[in-house]
Amino acid sequence: MNLDLKKLKLRSVNEKLQSIDRKKNNRKFTISNPEGNHAICAGLTENIDVTIKGHVGYYCAGMNQNANIIVDGNVGTGVAENMMSGKVHVKGNASQSAGATAHGGTLIIDGDTSSRCGISMKGIDIIVKGSVGHMSAFMAQSGNLVVFGNAGEALGDSLYETNIYVKGKVKSLGADCEEKKMDKKHKSKLKELLKKAGSNIKPDQFKRYGSARKLYNFNIDNVSNY
Amino acid sequence: MCGIVGIYLKSKKFEKSLGGMLSKMLISMESRGPDSAGFAIYSSDKNKNYKYSICLNEMSFEKFKKEIKKKVKFSSVEKNSDHIVLKSIEKPNKILPILESYEKISLIGYGKSIEIFKQVGSPSNVVKKFNLDNFSGTHAIGHTRMATESAITTNGSHPYSTGEDECLVHNGSLSNHNNLRRKLKKNGSKFNSENDTEVAAGYISDSLKNRNLKQTLKKGLSELDGFYTFIAGTHSGFAVLRDEIACKPAVIAETKDYVAICSEFQAMAHMPNVNNAKIFEPEPGIVYSWGK
C-alpha cells in the first residue's frame, strides 16, 4: 500500500502505521513524497515493512520496535533514535546523532553520517558503510558500531562497553577510548554483523576500539584523562 | 533555534524565480523562527546606482521623500511596505551621514547589488508583506528568527549588513560579542543593536578590509566564540561556515543550475530537480564558498 505524503497528513500516516493489527495480512507499505518531513515512521511497534522513497527530516524511525524500515534517500538528525528492536536501512547519508540512545535493533547506513553517530547507544548495532563524523559513540554504553570508512575526531569519548570496529583511519580517539585486541569472539561477532549488512569484507581488515575503563569511577590520578 | 536559507544561481535559468524559491524556503523555516524574518537579494544594477535599503519605522513615506529631496540627488525611491529602496549615484560616504542623521529610520543595508528587507512577524507574513515572490536576482540569503539574547525588533532581525554589499545570517549564539563589539567600536565600527550577530557582521566587514571572505571566515574560527552556522553574502556570491562543534545544522544541495543551503532539508524540498542534486552537510570548521 502506498501512502503519499503530498496527499495525506504526516500524523495520519504515522497513526495508521502505529496501529496495524497483529493479524492483518497486508504488512508492506511505501511512503512517497516525504520531502524532508520530521518524525516519519516514529513509534512503530509491529513487524511491518515500510519503504520511504525520498529524503526525510529529523527523528525518522525513532523509538522503532520490530518494524523493518528502508529509506531510499538521506536522513536528518537522530534517525532510529532510541530504537528498541527491528531494522532501519538508510540508502543515502545520515545527519547527526544517528542511532542515538538506541537499545536494540540494527541500523545500516550505506553512506556517511555526520557527528555524534551512536551517541549514548545502549545495545543497538550500527553499521556505517561510509565514514562517521566527530564525537561518534560518545558515552556509548553497549552494542556495536561498525565503520567501513574513516572516523572523525574524538571517537568513543567517555566510552563504556560498546565495541567500535573501524576499517579506515581514526582522526583521534576521545578520552578513555583505546585500540583493543581483536580476539576470536570479536571476529565472529563482527563477521555476523557484516553478514547482516550484506558485506563480504573480512573482519581482519578492521581494528577494534573500546573503553580503557579508567574513567568509570573518579580517581584523582586520572584527572588529566577527563 | 533560527532558520537560515540561501540560494546561489550558477546559471541565468532561475533568476526570475529566485524570490519565489526563497519565499518557500522562509515559510518552511517558520517552525525554527516565528518571531521575525528577513532576506537580502542580490541583483546586478546596470545603472551603477547605489541602493540604500531603509526601514521607515514610524516616519511617513511622503515626509521622508520631501525631506530627502532637499539633501540628496537620487534617481528613484521605491516604497515596499514600510521599507524603501533609495537609488542614487552618490557615494555612501556622502549619503550615509545624511541617512544616519534621521533618528527614526533604520538604514538596513546599501550597495550596488544588495537590497535587504526585514521585519518582525511570522515569516509567511513578512514574505507576503514585501512581495518576495516577485523578486528576481542572482543570489539571495534569508533568515527566520527565534529570538534569544536580544529584543524582537526590526534592528534585532537578520540579515545584518555592516558594509557595502555585505550581509550575514546566523543560526546560533556568540559568547564573546560584548568584548568584540568594544574592540570593533574602537576601530570605528558602528552598531545599532545589542545583537550578537550584528557584531559578527561587523567583525567580517572589518576583516574584509585586508582579506577576502574565505580568509576572513577562517580567521573568525579562532576569534568568534560560540555556536554558529553562518551564511555571509557579498556582491559576487556567498560563503558558509559552521563552528567546530557543529551543533547548528545545515544542508547543501548543489546542481548544475544552483546551490541551495538551508537549516533543514524540508526547506529545499521544493527546489527544481533537488532529488538528483548532490546533497551534503558542510563539515565543521571548513569554509565553503560560491561566487563569480
| CA distances from residue A128 to A98, A117, A149, A165, A194 in whole angstroms, order as listed | 10, 9, 8, 10, 10
Predicted TM-score (pTM) of the model is: 0.94
What percent of chain B clears pLDDT 70, i.e. is strictly above it? 99
Same domain? B145 vs B285: yes
| Interchain contact, B266 vs A114, CB within 8 Å | no
Q: Cell digits for A103?
A: 537499545
Give the chain B residue whose CA is nearest to the CA of A95.
B281
Q: What pLDDT was estimated at residue B13?
A: 95
Strands (E), B48-130: 50-55, 76-80, 83-88, 106-111, 114-120
Q: How far is B259 from chain A (nearest CA, A)?
A: 17
| Interchain contact, A36 vs B265, CB within 8 Å | yes
State the maximum Cα–Cα separation within chain B, in Å, rounded to a whole number. 55
Q: Cell digits for B84?
A: 524603501
What ipTM describes this predicted complex?
Answer: 0.91
B49 phi/psi in degrees, rounded to 5? -80, 150
The band of B243, judged by pLDDT with boundaries at 50, 70 and 90, is very high
Is the Cβ of A93 closer than 8 Å to some Cβ of chain B?
Answer: yes
Residue pLDDT, tens place only, A174-204: 999 999 999 999 999 999 999 999 999 999 9
Tell me how many domains chain B contains. Answer: 2
Residue pLDDT, tens place only, B69-98: 999 999 999 999 999 999 999 999 999 999
pLDDT surpasses 90 at B1: no
pLDDT surpasses 80 at A226: no
Same domain? B149 vs B238: yes
| Separation of alpha carbons B153 and A114, rounded Å | 35
pLDDT surpasses 90 at B205: yes
Top residue of B242, B281, B286 to mutate, by most chain A CBs within 10 Å, is B281
| CA distances from residue B116 to B29, B119, B132, B140 in whole angstroms, order as listed | 19, 10, 11, 10
Q: What pLDDT was estimated at residue B201?
A: 97
Within 8 A of B251 by CB-CB distance, chain A residues are 76, 95
Q: How far is B280 from chain A (nearest CA, A)?
A: 8
- Among the candidates B56, B81, B112, a domain finishes at B112
Residue pLDDT, tens place only, B53-70: 999 999 999 999 999 999
| CATH number for position B89 | 3.30.70
Average pLDDT over residues A23-34: 94
Closest to A140 in 3D by CA, of A119, A154, A155, A125: A119
Average pLDDT over residues B196-215: 95
Is the Cβ of A37 closer than 8 Å to some Cβ of chain B?
Answer: yes
| Separation of alpha carbons B213 and B204, rounded Å | 8
Residue pLDDT, tens place only, B152-173: 999 999 999 999 999 999 999 9
Considering chain A, what is the average pLDDT of its residues?
96
Within 8 A of A93 by CB-CB distance, chain B residues are 279-281
Q: What pLDDT was estimated at residue B44?
A: 80
pLDDT surpasses 90 at A150: yes
Q: Cell digits for B275?
A: 532529488
Same domain? B104 vs B133: no
Q: Which of A38, A58, A95 is nearest residue B281 as measured by Cβ atoms?
A: A95
Average pLDDT over residues A22-45: 95
Taken in order of first residue, the domains within chain A and their CATH numbers are 2-225 (2.160.20.60)
Q: What pLDDT was estimated at residue A225?
A: 67
Give the chain A residue whose CA is nearest to the CA of B271.
A35
Q: What pLDDT was estimated at residue B47?
A: 67
| Interchain contact, B283 vs A37, CB within 8 Å | no
| CATH number for position B191 | 3.60.20.10
Closest to A190 in 3D by CA, of A113, A127, A120: A127
Same domain? B25 vs B123: yes
Give the chain B residue whose CA is nearest to the CA of A133.
B283
pLDDT surpasses 70 at A29: yes
- Among the candidates B59, B83, B112, a domain finishes at B112
- Residue B211, beta-bridge partner list: none
Within 8 A of A37 by CB-CB distance, chain B residues are 266
Same domain? B183 vs B123: yes
Closest to B3 in 3D by CA, of B264, B289, B276: B264
- Among the candidates B95, B112, B129, a domain finishes at B112
- What lies within 8 Å, CB to CB, of A157 at 6+ separation is A135, A137, A138, A139, A174, A175, A176, A177
| CA distances from residue B135 to A156, B23, B221 in whole angstroms, order as listed | 49, 10, 34
| Separation of alpha carbons B267 and B259, rounded Å | 13
